[in-house]
A and B are shown apart, each in its own frame.
Chain A
Amino acid sequence: MIPALEVRDLTRRFGNFTAVERLSFSVQRGEICGFIGPNGAGKTTTMRICSTLDLPDHGDVFISGESVLEQPRRVRRKLGFMPDAYGAYSNTTVADYLDFFARSYGLRGEEKSRTIARLVEFTSLGHMLEKLTTALSKGMKQRLCLAKTMLNDPDLLILDEPAAGLDPRARIELRELVKALAGMDKAILISSHILSELGETCDSVVVIEEGRLKAAGNVSQMTEGIQRERSRVLLRALVDPQALLRAVLEEPHVEGARVERGGVVLDLPGGAEGLARLVEALVKRGVRLTEFRQEKLDLEEVFLSMTDGRVQ
Chain B
Amino acid sequence: MSAASRFLERVGNLPIWNRIADRGNAILVKELRQSMRGRYFAVIFWLTLAIATMIGMMTFVFQDGGRADTTGTAFFLAMFGCLTFASNLFVPFAAFSSFGAEWEENTLELLLLSNLEPRQIILGKLLSAAVQTLLYTLAFGPFLVLAFLLRGLDLGVAFGLLLFVLLSSITLSAVAVMLSTLARHKVARALLMALMAVALVAFSFATVAFGSEQLFFSRSVFSDRFVLLVFLTIAAVVVSYCVAFGCTRLAHPEENRSTTLRVLTTCCLLALLGWAAFGFQESGGDDEVLYAFGSVAFLLLAVTSALFCSEPERLGRRVRLWVPDNRLLALLSGAFFPGGGRGTLYMVMNSALLIGGFAVVLGYAAPGFPYDQVIGFLLALTAYMFVYVNLPALLFSPFSKKLTRRIACRIAVPLFAFLVFFVPTVTAFALDLRRPFNHAGNPAWAMNEFAHGRADGALIVGLAIAFLVVLVFNLPRIGRGLGELVAEHGRRQTPGRTAAPESLAVPALALEHPEESGDARPQP
Give A residues with C-beta under 8 Å from B: 2-3, 6, 8-9, 22-28, 30-31, 33, 51-57, 62, 65, 67, 69-70, 72-73, 76-77, 79, 81, 83, 85-92, 96, 100-101, 103-106, 108-109, 112, 148, 151-152, 203-206, 212-218, 221-222, 225
Contacts and interface: CB of A to CB of B under 8 A. Distances in A.
Interface size class of B (residues with CB under 8 A): 35 or more
A87 B501 contact: no
Given A77-B115, A89-B30, A204-B523, A103 B317 contact: no
Nearest to B101: A90
A20 to B, nearest CB: 12
A103 B22 contact: yes
Interface string B13-57: 000000101110010011001100110000000000000000000
A104 B114 contact: yes
Contacts of B105: 87-90
B33 A92 contact: yes
A69 B115 contact: no
A49 to B, nearest CB: 11
Interface in B443-483: none
Nearest to A80: B113
A67 B320 CA distance: 14
Contacts of B511: 215-217, 221-222, 225
Interface string B478-516: 000000000000000000000001101010011110110
B509 A216 contact: yes
Interface in B112-162: 112-116
A103 B29 contact: yes
B524 A212 contact: no
Given A106-B115, A112-B22, A216-B514, A87 B524 contact: no
Given A24-B520, A216-B520, 18 more contacts: A3-B521, A27-B522, A28-B524, A31-B522, A55-B317, A76-B114, A76-B115, A83-B109, A85-B106, A89-B30, A92-B34, A103-B26, A105-B114, A214-B514, A216-B511, A221-B511, A222-B511, A225-B511
Given A54-B252, A225-B511, A206 B520 contact: yes
- Say whether chain A's binding surface is mostly helix, strand, loop, or mixed: mixed
Contacts of B283: none
Q: Which of A3, A91, A151 has the most CB of B within 10 A?
A: A91
Interface string B93-115: 00000000100011111111111
B522 A218 contact: yes
B324 interface: no
Contacts of A27: 522
Given A65-B502, A88-B105, A215 B510 contact: yes
A105 B115 contact: yes
B318 interface: yes
B491 to A, nearest CB: 14
A92 B37 CA distance: 8
A215 B107 contact: no
A8 B504 contact: yes
B118 to A, nearest CB: 12
30 contacts: A6-B504, A8-B501, A8-B504, A23-B518, A24-B520, A26-B522, A53-B113, A69-B321, A72-B318, A77-B115, A87-B105, A87-B110, A89-B30, A92-B30, A96-B30, A100-B26, A100-B29, A103-B21, A104-B114, A105-B114, A112-B22, A204-B522, A204-B524, A214-B514, A216-B514, A216-B522, A217-B523, A221-B511, A225-B511, A225-B512
Given A103-B22, A112-B22, A218 B524 contact: yes
B286 interface: no
